[in-house]
Amino acid sequence: MTNVIGYNQLPDREEFVDLYINQGKLQRELAEIYGCGKLRIRQWIKKFGLETRIQGGGNNRKYDVTKEHLLYLINNKHTNDEIADLLGMSRSNVARCLSSFGLKRELNIPEYQKYARKVRYLTETNYAKYKEIINPDDYPRTLCGVDGGYQLDHILGVRECFDKGLSIEECSSLTNLQMIPWKANLQKRKMKGKTDEY
């Protein structure tokens, strides 16, 4: 069914409300019915005083989702998959609802990973600040396998610092940094079974 509406015209309100509210037609489907773009559909929804549904969710009407309920679920560490099961909706609709309500879940990053990331940032900051002390001979910093290459190394490894309860500042401090050949650094990591060094 196509019911083309002129540029300055409005569709029949009763018909439009029935299609959008009662039949749950998507904006895309309404655009096909009326032979126009979704922008005009949104303008008509506003003109008729109707509530805009969550994007991509003509079927979202049946979910009765509130921001407070979603916030409660994510604060109780439910995954998007679990929320989808609890609310009887698709995972993509859960993501759309979260985005629509401006809800962001905290990344579930293990404590060590957060610690290591901050250590690396502060280590680079300290290297730039104290390069003349840490690397007075200006050895080239390289990846493994480059002849004559050196790497910035934590004397006491990042994981070891974390396990011993040392602060981020202590782990990345000038006194815990040194330049060593990449082969020595690789060997050191192999001996410790760690991959968290430079």
Give yes or no: residues 166 and 94 share one domain. Answer: no
Give yes or no: residues 157 and 99 share one domain. Answer: no
Give yes or no: residues 136 and 100 share one domain. Answer: no
Q: Could you tell me if residue 197 is inside a domain?
A: no
pLDDT at 113 (0 to 100): 86
pLDDT at 198 (0 to 100): 46
**Domain tally, the chain:** 3
Instruction: Answer yes or no: are the C-beta atoms of 30 and 41 closer than 8 Å.
Output: yes
Q: What single-letter amino acid sits at 43? A: Q
Low-confidence stretches of the chain (pLDDT < 70) are 1-4, 6-7, 53-64, 105-109, 192-198
Q: Which domain holds residue 93?
A: 60-108
Count each helix (H run) and each strand (E run) in the chain, helices first.
11, 2
Q: Could you tell me if residue 152 is inside a domain?
A: yes
Q: Could you tell me if residue 198 is inside a domain?
A: no
Q: What single-letter amino acid sits at 32? A: E
Stated pTM of the model: 0.46
Query: Which pLDDT tens digit goes with each residue over 8-40?
Result: 788 888 888 888 877 777 787 888 888 888 888
Give yes or no: residues 11 and 41 share one domain. Answer: yes
Q: How far apart are CA 71 and CA 141, in angstroms?
A: 46
Q: How far apart are CA 73 and CA 90, in angstroms?
A: 16
pLDDT at 193 (0 to 100): 55
Torsion of CA 55, 57, 62, 63, to 10 degrees: -70
- Cα 181 off chain centre by: 36
- Which of 108, 141, 176 marks a domain boundary? 108
Which residue do the tokens 């489907």 mark? 29
pLDDT at 108 (0 to 100): 57
